[in-house]
Structure 1
Amino acid sequence: MSKNAGKGLEALLGATLELESQVYISRLKTSFTVRALTNEELRRVGERATLPNAKGEKKTDEQMFNALLIAKGCVDPNFSDKALIQHYGASDEADCVTKALLPGEIAKVLQAVLDLSGFGNEDELIEEAKN
């Protein structure tokens, strides 16, 4: 048995999946609060963004998938808020994301949600863990 045996178990027992971070949006001069997504939330987003094409084959709408990830991962603002959806004339929370944010802002917020959800740069994470 190696000397590292049990460290993974200890790490999991002491870990939380409830991770949050701030993303500054310079145009709005404010920070959004984003959180990590669960496996179940990611699965539901994937299902909702998968639509049949003209041939009846299922295909994931990448723009909808990304907008839904932001809508689910954003704590503040809440893109499901009825007043926000109405303000932007959006049909739902994903549409609200695409109407309220610029493309670069979408990319920035999406990256923060993905990083918190464990999809960050592996090399950077390894370096941080070493230090």
Structure 2
Amino acid sequence: MNLAEALLATDAGRITKLDTKEFEIPRLTKLIGAPFILHLKEIPPKRVREIQDASTKIEGNSVSADTYKLYMGLLCAGITDRDFDNKEVLKHYGAATRADLFSKMFTAGEIQDIAQEISDMCGFGKKSTKVVEDVKN
């Protein structure tokens, strides 16, 4: 079976479905007294690229990345819980946006861990492809 036949024999929905998972923040679970579970989703490639571009600054020959902006972009796009957009919740924590709320709610390490988890779901940080080499004698 060639690649085209294999693709046609496979349910397209299975191939194109974005990954989801739950991610607990133990510190907040302990503080609240109930499981603090975030619902994460894989971010589509085009949106990941937009987040990367918005976090990158190019000046002449110099390129720099704003890691915090990158992490917040990943969190805002990858955390699906709509409770973080609730106007009463935002007001209660003195936040204007979900990014503001995340910066107040999560520690720097938690922000990095959540961003890394979302990044892993998008295929970064792990080997998601296999290179096949032709060996000629």
Normalising by structure 2, what TM-score? 0.66
Percent identity of equivalent pairs: 23
Q: Which residue of 2 aligns with 1:36?
A: 42
Q: How does 1:1-131 map to 2 (within 5 A)?
A: 5-6=2-3, 9=7, 13=12, 14-29=14-29, 30-50=36-56, 59-76=64-81, 78-122=83-127
8 Å contact from structure 1 (residues 37, 73) kept in 2: yes
Secondary structure of the structure 2 residue equivalent to 1:112: helix
| AA at the equivalent of 2:100 | D
Alignment check: 8 A CA contact 1:33 1:75 kept: yes
Give the Cα–Cα distance (whole angstroms) in 1 for the partners of residues 71 and 21 of structure 2: 18
Matching residue of 2:32: none
- Count how many residue pairs are aligned between Structure 1 and Structure 2: 120
- Residue 18 of structure 2 contacts residue 44 of structure 2 at CA under 8 Å; is this kept in 1? no
CA distance in 1, matches of 2:99, 2:51: 10
**TM-score, length basis structure 1:** 0.69
CA deviations over 1:53-103 (Å, ceiling 9, x no partner): 8x9x77432101111101110012554443333333234332322211012
Distance change in 2, residues 1:88/1:26 (3 Å): same
Alignment RMSD, CA only? Answer: 3.1
Pick the structure with greater CA Rg: 2
> Partner letter of residue 22 of structure 2?
Q
Distance 1:12 1:114 in 2: 25
For 1:92 and 1:120, the matched residues in 2 are separated by 28
